[in-house]
Amino acid sequence: MNKAGLLLKRIVPAVAGAAAAALLLSGCGGASVNQVAAAGGSSEAPCGAVNVAMNAWVGYTANAAVYSYVAKNQLGCTVVQKDLNEQISWQGFASGEVDVVMENWGHNDLVKQYITDQKVAVDAGPTGNEGHIGWYVAPWMADKYPDITDGKNLNKYASMFATSESGGKGQILDGDPAFVTNDEALVKNLNLDYKVVFSGSEAALIQSFRTAEQNKTPLLGYFYEPQWFLSEVPLKKVALPAWSKGCDTDPEKVACDYPVYTLNKVISTKFADSGSPAAKLAKGFKWTNEDQNAVATDIQGGMAPEAAAKKWVDAHQEVVASWLK
């Protein structure tokens, strides 16, 4: 009895405090610096908040940084960046968690699910970049073993690529498990004596290739263009059986190289219909591989993404203006 009473007595002041706080919040609500700011912001442009998904490669970061910079500084939007995996980002279109995906690599299954069937997202047009995915070797290897860039000869060199992680087979180093990849299926369907090992991230892939070129150690790995790193170490692509339409429909039976991807932007239907100037900017956004690599190189060199974006935007005012028209 006594103890319950005690408990009650401790709760009473806590509740009283909470109630007082609530009163304070509601009573003085009008005076909040937050609302003042909101009112001030809205007089410039009716933009509001834009949720930008941030996928984990620097090329993507470059696109998103420039988009965010323009949306924030020229349109007065509030940009919210969310670090998400590629495929997880798509799930955010329906809930409003994600408004914009700034660089999409194909994903026909997701296009069907979210754009065609559920109609929660729309294609916002190409980014102007052309994407290539494939298997690459360090340049010194292509010089020393000229026939290595033909996929048919890979088995000949398998033992050279063996590591303690690859179980006696040759190693193919992949990036983040979330990236678009058919490598496991390719190894099996092309009867290659290799094992796919995941490095976990783009940064780890780049690190590995850089070390391999410096120390002249063998390395075969998954890589892609546009990619700033290729101007530092010009990796050589290994030719796999050419891509033809439909050869990669069944992910378990793929036995051909990756297609050429026309990279595009995807935005949520809600956002596209909102009339927000940021949606217009997302649709208008278009640049070249050189542009992306310039921004990505700056970011990789230690510049903050926002600063790198500012540098590019300042130098390309007329391009940005054309996006907003």
Report 81-110 residues binding another protein (CB under 8 A). Answer: 82-88, 91-92, 94-98, 109-110
Per CB under 8 A, which of residues 306..325 are in contact with another protein?
none
185 touches another protein (CB under 8 A): yes
Distance CA 100, CA 53 (A): 6
- Give whole-number Cα distances, 203 to 72, 138, 305, in Å: 28, 16, 16
Per CB under 8 A, which of residues 161..180 are in contact with another protein?
164-165, 167, 176-178
Candidate list 45, 46, 74, 78; residue touching another protein; CB under 8 A: 78
- Spell out, one character per residue from 193 to 232, where the chain touches another protein: x when CB under 8 A holds, - when not: ---xxxxxxxxx--x-------------------------
In the block, which residue shows the tokens 């590591």? Answer: 163
| Closer residue to another protein, CB minimum distance, 6 or 321 | 6
Candidate list 4, 242, 275, 301; residue touching another protein; CB under 8 A: 4
Instruction: Identify the DSSP state of 241.
Output: S
Candidate list 116, 118, 159, 231; residue touching another protein; CB under 8 A: 118
- Spell out, one character per residue from 264 to 283, where the chain touches another protein: x when CB under 8 A holds, - when not: --------------------
| Closer residue to another protein, CB minimum distance, 207 or 231 | 207
Candidate list 14, 191, 242, 246; residue touching another protein; CB under 8 A: 14
Considering the complex, what minimum distance in angstroms separates the CB of residue 254 from another protein? 8
| Closer residue to another protein, CB minimum distance, 35 or 322 | 35
17 touches another protein (CB under 8 A): yes
Burial zone of 266 (CB within 10 Å; 0-12 exposed, 13-18 middle, 19+ buried):
buried
| SS3 call for 121 | strand
Distance CA 201, CA 180 (A): 13
Encoding tokens for residue 197? 């090992």
| Closer residue to another protein, CB minimum distance, 167 or 234 | 167
| Closer residue to another protein, CB minimum distance, 65 or 142 | 65
Candidate list 127, 171, 182, 227; residue touching another protein; CB under 8 A: 182
Cβ 89 vs Cβ 296: under 8 Å: no
Instruction: Pick left, alpha or beta for residue 61 (phi over 0 → left; psi -120 to 50 → alpha; otherwise beta).
Output: alpha
Candidate list 1, 44, 317, 318; residue touching another protein; CB under 8 A: 1
- Taking CB under 8 A as the binding criterion, the range among 40-48, 145-153, 256-264, 286-294 that sits at the site for another protein is 40-48
How many amino acids of this chain bind another protein (CB under 8 A)?
74
| Closer residue to another protein, CB minimum distance, 32 or 322 | 32
| Closer residue to another protein, CB minimum distance, 21 or 321 | 21
Q: Which residues pair with 171 in a beta bridge?
A: 195
Q: Which residues pair with 211 in a beta bridge?
A: none
Per CB under 8 A, which of residues 51..70 are in contact with another protein?
54, 56
- Give whole-number Cα distances, 10 to 5, 48, 277, in Å: 9, 43, 52
Three-state SS sequence of 26-91? HHCHHHCHHHHHHHHHHHHCCCCEEEEEECCCHHHHHHHHHHHHHHHHCCCCEEEEEECCHHHHHH
Helix 58-73, helix 305-315: angle, nearest 10:
70
- Cis peptide preceding 241, ω within 30 of 0: no
| Closer residue to another protein, CB minimum distance, 142 or 309 | 309
